[in-house]
Amino acid sequence: MCKGDETMEMRTTYTAVPVATLASGVEVRIPVHEVRGRAGDGPTLGVTACFHGDEQVGTEILYRLLLAVDPAQLRGRLLVVPVANPLAYEAISRHTPLDMQNLNRVFPGGGEGFFTHQLAEVIVTHVLSKLDYYVDFHAGGVTLPTVDYVFIHNAEDLARVFGSPVLFRPREGYGYPGSASTYTVGRGVPTVTVELGGGPGDQTVFVQRGVAGVLNIMRKIGMIPGEPAPAPRQTVLRTLLTMRPRAGGFLVPEVTALNAEVPKGTVLGRTLSPYSFEELEVFRAPFEPSVTVEVLVRPCRINPGDYGYMIGDLSTAEA
């Protein structure tokens, strides 16, 4: 056991919650870390990551978070799930390899459904149904895009205090049916969904921001002492467009900065044939002006329908 593991063991109670046994005889379990505060009563905050197995930066954020939380200073209880979908995590896949279902589209799940539905039901029973507050981490994936924004669901004060420069307020009726956040919002649990990091670059700055953001939320709801750090200047988007390629090939990005304001028509990237180098598709900024929320940071292979760019419309944004 390494020194970091010893420190973690002293701070948390770890439970591997059974889900199912595979045909290989291997049992799939959900990791749940529980920190009970010794500073008095308080709320239960749940923090999850890796519903999609290729969004692995969230797992490190939660590891660093557990190291940063001192039970002696904590009021209430912290429930942390660093890998919500172990099979997808192992395969570095957005979907569960066993049934190719998207875990974050099947909540609250059900024991009679696909394995992924059974997995969702276990997460609801052992984590989501026990929460007073909820933070869910997502990312751009390991191999392709990098992303940076926070959803405003039913707890704008907590979404803002997380500290990201860009937030997204969905229009009424917008959402992802079957997501964990949709489930907790439906139960009236104040919920924050964070899209942060991913891609092939160094994730250090995203990990640091993720830990700081959750600690800020914990200060806001009285779980740890102190005042939340001031948020940066924030823009709230009302329109956010996902741009997916129609042509596969070799994508060469031209705009790689997140939260960059660019004029309509700016070339964001070009898809070329990796064989003839013929230009197959050009991504252009769709709004006047546009802001980059998800980008591709280096040349890469891309297929039709992959996540390409997410671009916000600054003309309809709230300052």
Residue 22 backbone phi and psi in degrees, to 5: -80, 165
Extents of the domains making up the chain: 3-235, 239-316
Q: What is the mean pLDDT of each run of 10 residues along the chain (319 residues)?
A: 47 93 97 96 98 97 97 97 98 96 96 93 98 98 91 97 96 82 97 96 96 98 97 96 97 97 98 98 98 96 95 94
Quote helix, strand, coil % in the chain, to nearest 5.
25, 30, 45
- CATH fold of the domain at 3-235: Aminopeptidase (3.40.630)
What DSSP line would sit under 71-91, residue for residue? GGG--SEEEEES-S-HHHHHH
Give the pTM. 0.94
Contact 87, 68 (CB under 8 A): no
User: Which residue in this structure is represented by tokens 């992303």?
Assistant: 147
How high is the pLDDT of residue 12? 82
How high is the pLDDT of residue 119? 98
How high is the pLDDT of residue 176? 83
Rounded to whole angstroms, the Cα distance separating 221 from 45 reads 9
Q: Does domain 239-316 have CATH number 3.10.100.10?
A: no
Contacts of residue 173, defined as CB under 8 A and 6 or more positions apart, other chains included, come to none
**Tokens at 303, concatenated:** 């297929």
How high is the pLDDT of residue 28? 98
**Tokens at 293, concatenated:** 């929320």
Contact 179, 195 (CB under 8 A): no
